[in-house]
Structure 1
Amino acid sequence: MAPTRAQPALPLLLLALTAVLLPGPGGARTSVHPPEAILPRGGSIQVNCSASCATPLMLGLETQLPKVEVDSGDNWKLFELSDIQEDSSPICFSDCGHDQETALATITVYWFPEVQLAPLPPWHPVGDNLTLRCLVTGGAPRARLSAVLLRGEEELSPRRPVVGEPAEVTATLLAGRGDHGANFSCRTELDLRPQGLGLFQNTSAPRQLRTFVLPVTRPQLVAPERLEVGTLEPVDCSLDGLFPSLEAQVHLELGEQRLNSITTYHEDSVSAKATIQVTAEQEGIQLLRCVVRLANQTRATHSTVTVYDFPGPNLTLSEPEVSEGNLVTVSCEAHAGAVVTLSDAQPGPPSSQVKFLINASAEDDGRLFSCSAALEVARKVLYKNRTLELRVLYGPRLDERDCLGNWTWQEGSQKTLRCQAWGNPAPLLSCTRKTDGALLPIGVVSFVKRELDGTYLCRAVSSRGEVTREVFLKVLWDNQNNLVIIIVVIIAALVSTLVLAAYLYNRQRKIKKYKIQKALEGATMKLNTQATPP
């Protein structure tokens, strides 16, 4: 980076305004101008050598620097020194007939150093010390050169002199979260203000620091223990307490397969969700892994998943719809390794297939058969069920339990006439009065009339036959009620009379029998008395 100046500089060459005279033997003097000078490396300077005498025998400049005499007079010469790379002390000399005289000039060369901040680690843990190293190459004069380490524009240490080649200046700081993304650099300062030039600064290219926190705990993996072929199951993996969470990467793996996941970031946590769908080729125990990567470190966790194939049992009826009296085979079969249970089947040893025969009857119409398959997967027994309904075709049924044979209703009441025929297919039912063919209303009768009285013939008809049944409906009305009462009263009176007559008759018979018995007893006593001797 090109150097900068802290304040406006004076001209690069500062020449002495007065000559410095060096006394020689015999009182003669040789002078040099300028006696002191400072200039940038590779620069040029003109040096004037003069003698005190009018016509010196010798006059010149002794130096290892490239020089060219550019002008002269009786007692002076002007030399140009070029491509000055380092400090130098050229000597002017003269001979005025006596001993040789000299004068020493001092040339100081300045140049700006190369400054570089040593590379930072790609990531640095929060809470660990970080040592920054500033490398300074070259630069002069070193006595006026210092260096300082910076975070942004904040100075991390006092300015330190640059010593050695190359020189190294260090500073140590405790890395924190606030240092993440911060720029660090190194600045050198060449202070030539005492020479009237100014303060020159040179700053290295900045380097950005990335800090991180990654807990030692493992990610939390939420996944099923079992996965069925063809089904979809969610998987979730998360890790808390990391920084910066946006820099973390999470991926999920099932066996050799990397899962497509959606990553969600929070302030100090990260989570990934995926949906697993396995195939029959993956059947068995698979390893499910979750890996969280931050900085140059990883945290991983895993669990085992049992992949299984468990289709539902195959329940079949040899004939799902049969006529009454036919044989039906009920069969239940499951995937290998599963054990089936078939309703109504005789108990037997565990098997993946069970079957039995039934003789279909009307009572079997609508009968449900249930097949249950059980499979143990990863120490848990799983079940799958299937049911089938059997349809049995049979002729109409019209039993007393479904259609009563006698009804006695009061005129004007509300009744429900229940009469239902059974059969498969469902039969058509009609009830007509035998005398005139009038229809008997089946269902709710809102108002019972005497005209409904009579004997009816109910007929149930389907494609599989027909059946009939006589039913009797008696409707009671007021006149009938009075006649019934009179008859009941007459019968009651007759019964009472007969009972009274029977009672009186029986009583008289008992009295007469008693009198006869007494008379017999009296006669017997009399005969006994006469027979006794005096």
Structure 2
Amino acid sequence: MPLAMAPFGGWGALAAFLSLLCCRGSGEKAFEGPKQLMVGSGEFQFINCTASCTDPKRLVLETALNKTLLESQTQWKLFKVYNISKDEELLCSSTCGGKQETKVFHITVFYPPKQVLLTLSPTSVAVGTLFTIECRVPAVAPLEGLTVTLLRGTEILYNQTIVGTALSPQDAVVTHNTTAHREDGLYNFSCEAQMDLRSRGGGFVHRVSDPQRLEVKEPVPNNQTVIIAIVIVLLLLFVTFILLCFVFSQKWFRGRTGHYGVYATWRRLIGSHRAPPL
């Protein structure tokens, strides 16, 4: 996706400047533009140097960067500055009525998202199990202007605005854990990164990752669960066997003690030492 430059920056500055040249009256002040600018690393910027008087003796843009004079009139000059790779200060200098005037343009370099990488881990899951969505945006700055959105089809699953003030480029990583549903296999997962620096004199960048597909399978029995179930059944059978043995032994013992009890009573009554007939 192309970089959309903010007003007074890049092509926006050129369009606004040329429009003003066509429409302003002879008594109006010429277009100057903001003093604070943000430019993508390696990009270009339009700089308009304008004098306060109508007939300056000297009007120059002082910078070590490569520049091209695009257009000029008596009171102003429009330059294109190339290959801005670090923060710079550009100085417009003019001489009006014997007095030197200067205007400083402070340019801050930002690193827009050029690549958005999406990873599903694992790529094949069973229904009801967790999986992780990770989105990585390499080498971006400043982080505070970056928003990362995780999508399932067109549905927003997770949205995060990155917090950070470091101006050096670094990776932005967003992760989100979610549970797999049967319908997840019908959609593409993607990640989009948006960097909006228009309020700071920069531009707006929008990048989207390549889509990823998740394989969703029906849940399968867990081996550990099966083993536990078998152990429980065996324990129940063992306990049942012990109880049955106990019951039968009690019945047998009661039967035996009942027989010998009758035998002892019979002996006392008849006083005989002979065993009773069976």
Q: TM-score, normalised by structure 1?
A: 0.31
Indicate if the aligned counterparts of 2:122 and 2:132 stay in contact, CA closer than 8 A. Answer: no
In structure 1, distance between residues paired with 2:213 and 2:193: 19
Corresponding residue of 1:214: 220
Alignment CA distance shift 1:171-1:54 (3 Å): same
In structure 1, distance between residues paired with 2:154 and 2:46: 38
Alignment CA distance shift 1:116-1:151 (3 Å): same
In structure 1, distance between residues paired with 2:201 and 2:68: 28
- 1:125 CA displacement: 4.2
**3-state SS of the aligned residue for 2:159?**
coil
Alignment CA distance shift 1:149-1:3 (3 Å): farther
Indicate if the aligned counterparts of 1:13 and 1:38 stay in contact, CA closer than 8 A. Answer: no
Sequence identity percentage: 32
Indicate if the aligned counterparts of 1:49 and 1:61 stay in contact, CA closer than 8 A. Answer: no
Amino acid at match of 1:215: P
In structure 2, distance between residues paired with 1:144 and 1:161: 7
Corresponding residue of 2:160: 159
Equivalent pairs counted in the alignment come to: 201
Larger Rg over CA atoms: 1
Please give the residue correspondences for 1:434-445 in structure 2 after superposition, counting only pairs within 5 Å. none
Please give the residue correspondences for 1:90-489 in structure 2 after superposition, counting only pairs within 5 Å. 90-95=90-95, 100-107=100-107, 111-139=112-140, 142-161=143-162, 165-180=170-185, 182-191=187-196, 200-212=205-217, 213-217=219-223
Corresponding residue of 1:63: 63
Indicate if the aligned counterparts of 2:49 and 2:77 stay in contact, CA closer than 8 A. Answer: yes
Corresponding residue of 1:33: 32
Q: Which has the higher helix share?
A: 2
Amino acid at match of 2:207: N
Amino acid at match of 1:93: S
- 1:136 CA displacement: 0.6
Indicate if the aligned counterparts of 1:146 and 1:161 stay in contact, CA closer than 8 A. Answer: yes
Corresponding residue of 1:48: 49
Indicate if the aligned counterparts of 1:149 and 1:186 stay in contact, CA closer than 8 A. Answer: yes
Amino acid at match of 1:79: F
Amino acid at match of 1:214: V
Indicate if the aligned counterparts of 2:141 and 2:170 stay in contact, CA closer than 8 A. Answer: no
Structure 2: gaps of 5 or more residues: 21-29, 225-278
Alignment CA distance shift 1:147-1:208 (3 Å): same
Corresponding residue of 1:82: 82
Q: Which has the higher strand share?
A: 1
**3-state SS of the aligned residue for 1:94?**
strand
Structure 1: gaps of 5 or more residues: 19-30, 219-534
**3-state SS of the aligned residue for 1:14?**
helix
**3-state SS of the aligned residue for 1:168?**
strand
Q: Higher relative contact order at CA 8 Å, sep ≥6: structure 1 or structure 2?
A: 2
- 1:78 CA displacement: 4.1
Q: TM-score, normalised by structure 2?
A: 0.54
